[in-house]
Amino acid sequence: MDKVAIYIPDEEAKKFLLFQEYYDEFTLLVDAGVFKIRNGSAVIHFDKKGDIKAINRADILYSARFD
């Protein structure tokens, strides 16, 4: 595998390393559409080891308050 050197500020490097640590979980949330929710919420359920076991989504399909 080829390697490419990337120079970024320390704070950005820390963010990238944190992202890499939780990459699988982040990908699961993206695939589940969690970041596309509007006028709703998501509840993430973890098991005793901290693994994601279920994601519940609750959308508001209509409400006069959100016009």
**Domain ranges, residue 19:** 10-66
pTM summary value: 0.75
Is the pLDDT confidence value at 12 over 70? yes
26 touches 19 (CB < 8 A): yes
- For tokens 């609750």, the residue is 58
Task: For residue 3, tell me if it sits in a domain.
Answer: no
Q: Percent of the chain, pLDDT > 70?
A: 97
Q: Per the structure block, which two tokens stand in for 21?
A: 């640590």
Is the pLDDT confidence value at 65 over 90? no
* Number of structural domains the chain divides into: 1
DSSP for residue 41: E
CA 55 to chain centre: 11
- For tokens 């699988």, the residue is 24
Task: For residue 2, tell me if it sits in a domain.
Answer: no
Q: According to the model, what pLDDT value does residue 51 have?
A: 95
Is the pLDDT confidence value at 64 over 90? no
Task: For residue 16, tell me if it sits in a domain.
Answer: yes
**Mean of all residue pLDDT scores within the chain:** 92
